[in-house]
Structure 1
Amino acid sequence: MSSMTPFEPKNPIVKWVEYRLPIFSLVHGTLVAYPAPRNLNYWWNFGSLAGMMLVLQIVTGIVLAMHYTPHADLAFLSVERIMRDVNYGWLIRYLHSNGASFFFIAVYIHIFRGLYYGSYKAPREILWWLGLVILLLMMATAFMGYVLPWGQMSFWGATVITNLFSAIPGVGESIVTWLWGGFSVGNPTLNRFFSLHYLLPFVLVGVVILHIWALHEHGSNNPTGLDMKSRADQIPFHPYYTVKDLFGIGVFLIIFCLFVFYSPDMLGHPDNYTPADPLVTPPHIVPEWYFLPFYAILRAIPDKLGGVIAMFAAILILFVLPWLDTSRVRSARFRPIYKQLFWLLVIDVVALTYIGGKPPEGWFIVFGRVATAYYFLHFLVIMPLVGWFEQPKPLPKSIAESVLGNGQASTPAKEKA
């Protein structure tokens, strides 16, 4: 196809720059001529949506940092000043606070899409790892950002979460003291968190670049899980998927703007509109909604150290997923048993999110422990066993055949690596 040909500049200025710094050919190869599978669906939009939200978070965060005061006595008041006195400060802050939630929504859907279609399988293991590193950096950045308004939930959330590190034998207390910058959450803590919250998004950009680099090395996965074998299996990224991405961005922004302009506080906690008070503990301390599944796993274990280990293991277990999944077929589209188990996992994570926002009492504790047990059983026991014993459906011979439906004979799944 002509649009997948090498970049040849016609403009003399572009040609002059390109000879000395081949940035235009890099952009052309990444966003225009990049050969993509011809059968990508709208679930693949969420990668670009996550990138868009990262840019929005950085831009709004830089503007907010111009007006924010990282001091325990002034932080809450500076946020109020942003909301009331800074021109469009309310809009910038709501874009930033709701943008964090929508950033996580895009990334979580992106991860579950990868789980469904087997995007973690060889040769994309490092691509998968880099995606998980992005998730961990997002979590660290979001946690530190949640502390900055210095409301009640900010202060006590920081106190509870940082105290978890004290469960680490030997060095736990020293880690907590280092995080606090003293012997309690206070002004040094706020300064450290503000500094790191400003820095980490730029580290995140670097990891995203590596993520895109790894993606382009072996190409995108696709709903069939088959590799591209011929020109018939691929189409240029532009204009086919740029148009698709623009449509997805439009729909995503409509929903995002509904929250920003009509329900800007729906995803937050009302206690955070009260200034931090070390002498008054909120009746129920909860993190932001995107941390709730892991918070539920933490509370499901009665032992403090065991809960911390389980919470971190819930993410770290995803790093070994390429080897836990023993099936030779990537896509759940051709795996009838795994497809049902995937939706059970989705229900389980939603249940953990619900439990994480409830008080640790009564049947919530029992339900949380059952959901936590299933989460780990799914990856450690069920997934390897299903991969060994499941009989997948026949795979098409190529991506083109799955799209065009030309009636050619399918290839049994066992013959596919």
Structure 2
Amino acid sequence: MKISEATRTYFAKDVYSIWKSRVSKAEESITVYSPYFDRLLISLLGNAQLRNENITIVTELNPASLLEMPNQLRALKNALSNGIIVLSTPRLHAKVLLTDDKFVAIGSQNFTSYARKSKECTVIPAATMTGSSFVDTLIRWREDATSVDEDFVDMLLSKISRHIRRHKKLLEETEAEFDELLKNHEEEKQNALLRRLEELERQSHIRMSQGVVYASIEHISGEWDYYDSLIADHEYDLTRWVVKKPGGNTEPYRFSRLAMYPMIIAETGRMGFARIGKTRITYIRKSLNWSNRRLQVGDYSLGVSITFPVTDTKKRNIVVRLTHPYLGSCEAAFLFTGDAFRLIRKHYFKGNSYWNEQHEAFVKELDAGFFGDLDSIASFFRRFFTSFTYKELGLDNKNVRDYLKGLHFRLTVIQFQGNPVLVIKKQW
């Protein structure tokens, strides 16, 4: 029997409510195939309108599964005590709900409480699958499976408890060591970014005469509101820096007062555009939509918007969206590390379906003429990660505290593709 695409529904979420509906509507039989289950399955089957002798659980009863899911034995005992048929078949990995031997729900989700909170995928055909080779195979698995005896389950419950306790302790010890190794690994990645930025700071030609700026978070009581601001120590002017020349001499380097400049937080890699005042930074933009600059790729003129992620910023700290009025758009994630601007991934979105064929040409042009060209990527950073005044693009709230956790910070400037980038590092 061929099932059309229109009769299938796909889920990337918990499907317990759909299982419950299918179970309650079953008229002749219910069969659950799952290598792992717990009391959640018993609760689910309690919604059936059938007698329990018409309900079957097909699982794999083996030592490994019992150690991994010790609650499964208790759930299995509960099912058998209530007259539900329990069968065991070797190497079962399927997770299927079969009702009346014709309706199915197929997916990765086990019939456990843990699985309800996991990332699962399920397919649920709306049409009957009676007579299909798929259902015939499920029925054959059920017929060939071995009956599970309640007395044997009682024996397992009494005899292997000590093994389960030992396994639980070993698992806890392994999880603790895993967490410690992961913590150390993340710290090393953070330290690697810090070391990279520190080296770039030493190489930077832009600096204060004293080398760095120190600043503190202060709470400001305004006439109409209260907010936090990063205020430089009294001897510093955030707009006045110097450039070190090859011969050792210096000349003034000015930041435009009240303009936005790209910044990176050394500890996390999180980025933003900070508004530089003479004595303070109060505003940091989390995103911007370039209204007065477009990216030209071949014959395509594209709108550009930039967002700075809040989490997982060591994996990607910049998300760029390139948009064509009707051919679609591309969302690309980049990682900026101070000395590199690297593409991590990209995803295309179609525009109007009328332009599907042209969309393919659009994708090929961007892949070859932009993402595949290192010079184009470098030019993009130079053009779209330069300074701008907030009046052009709007102004965020006074949000410096959203970015900076701590009280005292060190500020330096590095350069990438000719653009100054402010580096903020927490001192305490």
Please indicate the TM-score interval, normalised by the length of the shorter structure.
under 0.3
Structure scoring higher RCO (CA < 8 A, sep ≥ 6) equals 1
**TM-score (structure 1 length as normaliser):** 0.20
Larger radius of gyration: 2
Q: Identify the structure with the greater strand proportion.
A: 2
* TM-score, normalising length: structure 2: 0.19
Greater share of residues in helix: 1
